[in-house]
Structure 1
Amino acid sequence: MPDRADHARRGGAAPGSAVRRLPAEESLFSCIYGLVLASALVAALDATGDQADPGPDALWVVLTALAASAAHGYAHVIAQRASADGAATVSRLRLVLAEWPLVAAVLPTVGILLGAVAGWWSEATAVDTALVFNTAALFGWGTWAARIAGYGWPSSCRAGSLDMLIGLVIIIADTLID
């Protein structure tokens, strides 16, 4: 039994009809990248021994995600400019704006930190919760990306587990560094 699904279009399916409902490969990449970025930032910003201040931490997570998404989108623009003519086009602006999933992926972490600002829990609890949430989300996004790529459930779960391993490494590093 092959582990890779057949990519041939089913008879009677309209061209591109299934593709429109599936997220683009770049969106999945950006979401996974955003989750890793948010986890690393929230772990790094969690200062032990210092006064807890989750509000600025949340702001730094958002600003860093915006800067990373803009830099990644602009890198696409530079690559396109190098391979084509030098004229600025709307398609190049779309390349930059297409990085929105990276920013969207950090929003749960920001929400959890803002919960600490509201006094619902401590910053340490918010950091721990964000790290666990992001690690579980990495498994989900990694599994989903592999399923969309046509892999079967066993391989998809292995891919999700490898993505989740990144989150676990960040949790372990946060524990050892603190």
Structure 2
Amino acid sequence: MPDANPVHPEVTAPWGSLRSPSAERRLFRGIYGLVLASAMTAALDVPGNEANPGQDALWVLLTALAAGAAHGYAHVIARRASAEGAAGHSRLRAVLDEWPLVVAVLPTVLLLLGAVPKWWTENTAVDVALLLNTVALFGLGVSAARSAGLGWPASCRAGCADMLIGLLVIAADALIK
């Protein structure tokens, strides 16, 4: 009798795949950080205002740190309210687990800081950061889909869907300016 649940090699996840909960959470936080960095960078780039890339870089970094802390602490509160009871010593751990969100904004922060010594203009830093974050969203989408066992065409479609978030931020930035 044939196996009722056959395993197909094309749909099994490779070793180290994103099917583990911790890898999934890191991916989620990384994507969240990229979108946050793009939105903050676009919002801070106000036409007509004097450029202050150092201050803008600080705002992007502080916003990521605050978002990570808030997200981690929200997990603590949710655990406390659930049947799991008191969070105990895991409060700090829940906040520190948000590191991928903060790491994801670092390229944007570095690009903005590169405009401080006038290596490039802040507008160039913003444009490059938005483009880089959009390409990174595509890459994370493709990587996640490949890790889930999807083929290249389906993975590229998933990457394009993720990349749309970055393109929406770029479009919104262009329309608001």
TM-score range relative to shorter protein: 0.7 to 0.9
Matched to 2:12, the amino acid is: D
Q: Would you say the 8 A contact 2:17–2:147 is kept in 1? A: no
1:18 to 1:168, Cα distance in 2 relative to 1, 3 A: closer
Name the CA distance, whole Å, in 2 between partners of 1:75 and 1:118. 38
Q: Give the gaps of 5 or more residues in structure 1.
A: 10-16
1:6 aligned to which of 6, 12, 29: 12
Name the CA distance, whole Å, in 1 between partners of 2:159 and 2:17. 22
Q: Would you say the 8 A contact 1:73–1:96 is kept in 2? A: yes
For 1:110-121, list aligned pairs within 5 A.
Answer: 110-121=109-120
Matched to 1:5, the amino acid is: V
For 1:78-157, list aligned pairs within 5 A.
Answer: 78-157=77-156
1:176 to 1:33, Cα distance in 2 relative to 1, 3 A: same
Length, aligned pairs only: 168
Q: Would you say the 8 A contact 1:3–1:155 is kept in 2? A: no
Runs of 4+ with deviation above 6 angstroms: none
Name the CA distance, whole Å, in 1 between partners of 2:11 and 2:17. 15
- Measured against aligned partners, the alpha-carbon deviations of 1:127-162 in whole angstroms (never above 9, x if no partner) come to 001001001011011111222223222221111111
For 1:3-42, list aligned pairs within 5 A.
Answer: 5-7=11-13, 18=16, 24-42=23-41
TM-score normalised according to structure 2 size: 0.87
Q: CA RMSD in A?
A: 2.2
Q: How far is the alpha carbon of 1:90 from its aligned partner?
A: 2.7
1:84 to 1:98, Cα distance in 2 relative to 1, 3 A: same
Q: Would you say the 8 A contact 2:112–2:122 is kept in 1? A: yes
Q: How far is the alpha carbon of 1:19 from its aligned partner?
A: 6.0
State the percentage of identical aligned residues. Answer: 66
1:116 to 1:78, Cα distance in 2 relative to 1, 3 A: same
TM-score normalised according to structure 1 size: 0.86
- Measured against aligned partners, the alpha-carbon deviations of 1:22-57 in whole angstroms (never above 9, x if no partner) come to 761000010011000000000000010111101110
SS at match of 1:59: helix
- Measured against aligned partners, the alpha-carbon deviations of 1:64-84 in whole angstroms (never above 9, x if no partner) come to 001111111111111111123
Name the CA distance, whole Å, in 1 between partners of 2:136 and 2:84. 40
Name the CA distance, whole Å, in 1 between partners of 2:133 and 2:87. 37
1:32 to 1:18, Cα distance in 2 relative to 1, 3 A: closer
